[in-house]
């Protein structure tokens, strides 16, 4: 047993022979997996599906409609279940594994310190809303307005007087004696009006400065309380991060701070809110703490989908990247973890085909698996291939991109001039593109043709995924036409359609070029609500992503010739 080494595992210390969150599971007749689930992409093992079915029945029994992720971990002797974050604002659900840190416990340091911070918040709010401070601010505003009005009035009087004096001087310009007599009066009048402006600027000054000092004294007290709140809040957050301690299969343990500090490109100052409270870390930590051997894991969504994301009740989803990848990278050490099932996408089975070229540009067919530009790995990419084929090419070469998983037509620029020409054509939407895709299912609600307008922005909690975002998203518009619907459209290789399952072949005409635009517009409940077959980000795995850039139409920027290219989809 490992739990004596683990902080905040009081639940476990109270357990008898079998904790209430270890549930029986019939494994007879089911072949066990040879390796543990790769949590960021997977097809759920039948044992996980069976365990998840039990959890779903439990949620119905509890009448749980709370929208969140739930997870199951099959271990030797049964399975464990977990929920992300809190359930109904509490951790007191012994049917599920306990939290790694129970900071909701009223006796915990977190709650006691949070209570003190809440008191500070109350004092700050009380001082900010105090009638005396409000009265002083009103008085300062009134005094300042009185002074400003007096100054403005005095300035107007001075400007009017100056115009009259200038006019009198012009009239008397030919009469020197009379001008001398009048000039003394005009100078005195000017000096008097200047003095009026000066006096106006000094109006209420003493009262204003006294009021400002009283306000500053009270605001300084508020500022000191805010600074104290900031210091205590940051210290409490740091304390909490250090309480999250995780185990791995080697029996090692590390804090959340250490894990993020060691993870490539991360630092504990960037630890996202909720890290360590997702299903997967909770499940693995509970299993390790009890000395149970993990066999397979899966997570599913329950409840309505958050707006802009792609969640269907009861369906399985991978662990998130931003919060879970650093943690699970440590926790999975010592387990025999299955390879990423999407790695076959990166196995290059075809070469880039040059469909057409001249001195200015080329049109190529990119196979699935190729990157458009160099990435972080040594994966083949179109740009380096183009530089090898045309070593004299100048400029950026790559005008537009296709996702790694997407195949089809791309235009490459061989010169800087042609790059500039074509780039302007892309910006003006003078280059027309057509894609063909196979959607995973069919729907009576999809019209024969239509227009999808869903603004997109990055899902920073789970990059590289994108999300529908009406507040901050960029405009994304796609025209579509349904080609046909039927079971006979089922793709080759990995897919065997279930009874009655249909697929939809569709043409897409993107009018904008946002990242993952077609994939999100297809998968989103606000779009077509049918993911593209093989979409490893927004749907389910297959032997490839069934999306192909099929046609291009544009006018040659140098010759004026109308060009049309087509590439038959490989599905």
CA distances from 475 to 158, 340, 478, 523, 547 (A): 56, 33, 10, 17, 22
Percent of the chain at pLDDT > 70 equals 92
pLDDT at 5 over 70: no
pLDDT at 146 over 90: yes
- pLDDT tens by residue, 90-142: 898 999 999 999 998 888 899 999 999 999 999 999 999 999 999 999 999 99
- Contacts for 361 with CB less than 8 Å, ≥ 6 apart: 411, 412, 413, 414, 418, 422
Give the separation between CA 480 and CA 520, rounded to whole angstroms: 13
Give the separation between CA 110 and CA 118, rounded to whole angstroms: 12
Give the predicted TM-score (pTM) of the model: 0.74
* Predicted pLDDT at 59: 95
pLDDT at 496 over 90: no
* Predicted pLDDT at 365: 97
- pLDDT tens by residue, 439-450: 999 988 899 999
Give the separation between CA 252 and CA 335, rounded to whole angstroms: 12
- Mean of pLDDT values over 223-242: 94
How many Cα atoms within 13 Å fall on the side-chain side of residue 227?
A: 6
Q: Which stretch, 69-73, 209-213, 380-384, 424-428, has highest mean pLDDT?
A: 69-73
pLDDT at 505 over 60: yes
Give the separation between CA 327 and CA 245, rounded to whole angstroms: 10
Residue 375's pLDDT band (cuts 50, 70, 90): confident
Give the separation between CA 30 and CA 265, rounded to whole angstroms: 41
Angle at 283 (CA atoms; ends 263, 105), nearest 5 degrees: 95
* Predicted pLDDT at 49: 97
* CA dihedral for 385, 387, 388, 393, sign (positive or negative): positive
Cβ count within 10 A of residue 209:
12
CA distances from 452 to 146, 403, 554 (A): 57, 20, 23
Q: Which residues are 434's β-sheet partners?
A: 551
Residue 7's pLDDT band (cuts 50, 70, 90): very low
- pLDDT tens by residue, 149-165: 999 999 999 999 899 88
Angle at 12 (CA atoms; ends 11, 18), nearest 5 degrees: 115
How many Cα atoms within 13 Å fall on the side-chain side of residue 142?
A: 8
Percent of the chain at pLDDT > 90 equals 71
pLDDT at 266 over 60: no
Is-catalytic flag, 403?
yes
Kind plus residue range of the DSSP H or E element containing 169:
helix 131-171
Helix axes 324-331, 279-289, angle to 10 degrees: 20
Chain center to CA of 400: 23
Report the range of poorest mean pLDDT among 185-194, 405-414, 474-483.
185-194
Tokens matching residue 406: 């997407």
pLDDT at 47 over 90: yes
- Per DSSP, 371 falls in state B
* Predicted pLDDT at 166: 86
pLDDT at 422 over 80: yes
Cβ count within 10 A of residue 201:
14
Give the separation between CA 6 and CA 257, rounded to whole angstroms: 16
Report the range of poorest mean pLDDT among 63-67, 194-198, 489-493.
489-493
More confident residue, 349 or 96: 96
> Left if phi > 0, otherwise alpha if psi is -120 to 50, otherwise beta: which for 348?
beta
Output phi, psi for 148, to 5 deg: -60, -40
CB 548 within 8 A of CB 410: no
Determine which one of 403, 440, 459, 535 is catalytic.
403
- Contacts for 330 with CB less than 8 Å, ≥ 6 apart: 246, 248, 252, 254, 259, 262
Give the separation between CA 399 and CA 419, rounded to whole angstroms: 7
pLDDT at 452 over 80: yes
């Amino acid at each position: 047993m490992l739990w004596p080494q683990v902080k905040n595992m009081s639940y476990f210390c109270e357990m008898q022979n079998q904790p209430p969150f270890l549930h029986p599971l019939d494994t007879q007749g089911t072949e066990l997996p040879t390796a543990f689930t790769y949590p960021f992409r997977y097809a759920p093992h039948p044992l996980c599906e069976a365990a998840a079915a039990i959890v779903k029945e439990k949620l119905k029994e509890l009448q749980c409609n709370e929208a969140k992720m739930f997870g199951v971990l099959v271990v030797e002797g049964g399975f464990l279940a977990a929920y992300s974050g809190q359930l109904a604002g509490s951790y007191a659900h012994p049917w599920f594994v306990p939290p790694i840190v129970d900071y909701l416990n009223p006796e915990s340091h977190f709650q006691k310190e949070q209570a003190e911070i809440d008191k500070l918040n109350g004092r700050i709010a009380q001082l900010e809303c105090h009638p005396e401070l409000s009265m002083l601010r009103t008085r300062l505003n009134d005094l300042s307005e009185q002074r400003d009005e007096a100054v403005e009035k005095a300035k107007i009087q001075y400007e009017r007087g100056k115009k009259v004096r200038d006019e009198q001087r012009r009239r008397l310009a030919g009469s020197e004696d009379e001008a001398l007599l009048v000039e003394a009066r005009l100078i005195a009048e000017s000096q008097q009006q200047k003095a009026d402006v000066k006096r106006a600027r000094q109006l209420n000054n003493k009262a204003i400065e006294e009021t400002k000092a009283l306000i500053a004294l009270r605001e300084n007290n508020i500022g000191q309380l805010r600074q104290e709140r900031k210091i205590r809040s940051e210290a409490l957050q740091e304390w909490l991060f250090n309480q999250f301690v995780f185990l791995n299969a080697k029996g090692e343990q590390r804090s959340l701070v250490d894990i993020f500090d060691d993870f490539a490109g991360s630092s504990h100052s960037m630890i996202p809110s909720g890290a360590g409270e997702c299903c997967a870390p909770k499940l693995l930590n509970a299993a390790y703490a009890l000395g149970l051997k993990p066999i397979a894991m899966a997570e599913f969504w329950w409840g309505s989908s958050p707006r802009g994301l792609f969640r269907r009740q009861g369906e399985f989803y991978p662990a998130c990247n931003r919060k879970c990848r650093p943690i699970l990278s440590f926790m999975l050490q010592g387990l025999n973890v299955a390879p990423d099932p999407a790695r076959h996408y990166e196995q290059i089975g075809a070469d880039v085909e040059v469909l057409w070229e001249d001195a200015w540009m080329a049109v190529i067919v990119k196979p699935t698996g190729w990157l458009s530009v160099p990435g972080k790995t040594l994966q083949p990419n179109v740009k380096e291939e183009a530089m090898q084929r045309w070593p004299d090419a100048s400029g950026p070469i790559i005008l537009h991109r296709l996702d790694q998983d997407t195949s089809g037509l791309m235009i490459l620029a061989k010169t800087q001039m042609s790059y500039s020409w074509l780039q302007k054509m892309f910006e003006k939407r003078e280059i027309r593109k057509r894609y063909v895709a196979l959607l995973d299912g069919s729907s009576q609600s999809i019209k024969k043709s239509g227009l999808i307008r869903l603004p997109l922005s990055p899902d920073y909690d789970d990059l590289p995924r994108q999300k529908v975002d009406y507040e901050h998203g960029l405009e994304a518009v796609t025209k579509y036409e349904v080609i046909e619907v039927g079971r006979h459209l089922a793709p080759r290789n990995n897919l065997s359609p279930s009874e009655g399952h249909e697929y939809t072949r569709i043409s897409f005409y993107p009018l904008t070029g946002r990242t993952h635009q077609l994939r999100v517009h297809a998968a989103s409940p606000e779009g077509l609500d049918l993911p593209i077959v093989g979409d490893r980000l927004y749907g389910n795995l297959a032997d490839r992503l069934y999306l192909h850039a099929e046609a291009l139409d544009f006018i040659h920027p140098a010759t004026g010739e109308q060009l049309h290219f087509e590439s038959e989809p490989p599905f």
